[in-house]
Amino acid sequence: MSFNGLGMNMGNLSRLSNAQSRSISAENFRGEKGKGGMAMEEGASWESAKELGQGWKVSPCVHIEAGQVFTVADIEGPGAIQQIWMTPTGDWRFSILRIYWDHQEYPSVECPVGDFFASGWGQYAQLSSLAVCVNPRSGLNCYWEMPFRRHCRITLENIADERMTLFYQINYTLTEVPEDCAYFHAQFRRVNPLPYKQVYTVLDGVRGQGHYVGTYLAWGVNNAGWWGEGEMKFYMDGDEWPTICGTGLEDYFCGSYNFDVGGTYIPFTTPYSGLHQILKPDGCYGSQMRFGLYRWHIVDPIRFQSDLKVTVQALGWRKNWKYLPLQDDIASVAYWYQTLPSQPLPPLPAREFLEIV
């Protein structure tokens, strides 16, 4: 797969390919060959560039009005998205990213833009991983490979009450796609608060063959004490009980013992996992602990043949050292690849239930 222009790594970077590199941005809305940087008066920065003229950063960004759906990319295949960079203004929970494959009427990716880039709390936190990087001050990057055979459409909907500004670049290749390549999917969910003794569902309703490749959690704690005793569980191919059952939340995210060193949470960001965001109470209005965690199954994808369900328990401790089911604020993004057609994603929560307060 890597030699035809879909994906490269350090081991095959020297190999030649007949793939064609393309890029979409506000400087070339359709990614056409030899058509970048041609904007004139219609560009967002024309007033800054008019003394220099065409080719001098006339159209580096777009404005998306309240309630508007902007088409970020519309690409005829076959090909593959290789990298997405965005720096959206406004409330990242109120900008909804959707990706449609091969003219399906419903999206395979539907997610608030911040959560998609593992930034669900709407505040900057450095993240350095193979699949997602978040760089100062709002550089949101993803490197998930996203092949498509016939068509790709990417949109961003502004559900806020104010206009937003978007700088973006979609780097992709036009190339043949092997038969065994599946389609990238991502699903957002949120429950606030989680009902007592209810298990949080990260993903459900998946039908088809594929593999699960990642989890992001934005976890808001509503109790004092440690909150991550719950187990991640993967039900696949008709399971009544899970085939894969972890031993605790910090264990699933490749840490241990509460991420605690000397009575302090320690943030970390690595190629495959991290606790990259820790928001602490400020002693006044910021009263709750909030965390951002990611786990990418890049070298250990979880394979399924017909169906998949993923859950996590919210579990802490009572003072008598018995488990305490928690009623926390939990949002998640599940990332996976599967065959088409895929099932429609569950509806996103209404705006007031997306909001972070």
**Residue 53 pLDDT grade (very low, low, confident, very high; cuts 50, 70, 90):** confident
Domains in the chain with CATH codes: 2-8+20-35+59-354 (2.60.120.1390)
pLDDT in tens, 278-324: 999 998 988 899 999 999 999 999 999 999 999 999 999 999 999 99
CA end-to-end span of the chain: 45
CB 18 within 8 A of CB 5: yes
Instruction: Name the percent of the chain lying above pLDDT 90.
Output: 87
pLDDT at residue 194 is higher than 60 = yes
Question: Side-chain half-sphere of 71: how many Cα atoms within 13 Å?
Answer: 10
pTM attached to this predicted model: 0.95
User: Got the DSSP string for 10-65?
Assistant: TTTTT-----EEEEEETTBTT--TT-TT---TTSTTHHHHTTT-TTSSS-S-EEE-
- Residue 213 in this model has a pLDDT that exceeds 90: yes
Predicted pLDDT of residue 2: 47
- pLDDT given for residue 57 in this prediction: 83
Could you tell me if 61 and 26 are in contact, meaning their C-beta atoms sit under 8 angstroms apart? yes
pLDDT at 1: 41
Cis before 15 (ω within 30): no
Report the DSSP beta bridge partners of residue 185.
336
Q: What is the dihedral of CA 269, 274, 276, 280, to 10 degrees?
A: -140
pLDDT of residue 271: 98
Q: Chain-wide mean pLDDT for the chain? A: 94
Note the pLDDT of residue 3.
43
**Between 57 and 114, the higher pLDDT residue:** 114
The pLDDT, as a whole number, for residue 300 is 97
pLDDT digits (tens, 9 = 90+) for 144-192: 999 999 999 999 999 999 999 999 999 999 999 999 999 999 999 999 9
Q: How far apart are CA 54 and CA 57, in angstroms?
A: 8
Give the model's pLDDT for residue 262: 95
211 φ/ψ sector (left φ>0, alpha ψ -120 to 50, else beta) = beta
Closest of 205, 202, 179, 206 to residue 191, by C-alpha: 202
What would the pLDDT profile of 312-336 be if each residue is shown by its tens digit? 999 999 999 999 999 999 999 999 9
Q: Which string of b and e fits 93-115 if b means at least 16 CB within 10 Å?
A: bbbbbbbbbbebeebbbbbbbbb
Q: Work out whether strand 183-191 and strand 329-338 pair parallel, antiparallel, or are unpaired.
A: antiparallel
pLDDT at 23 over 50: yes
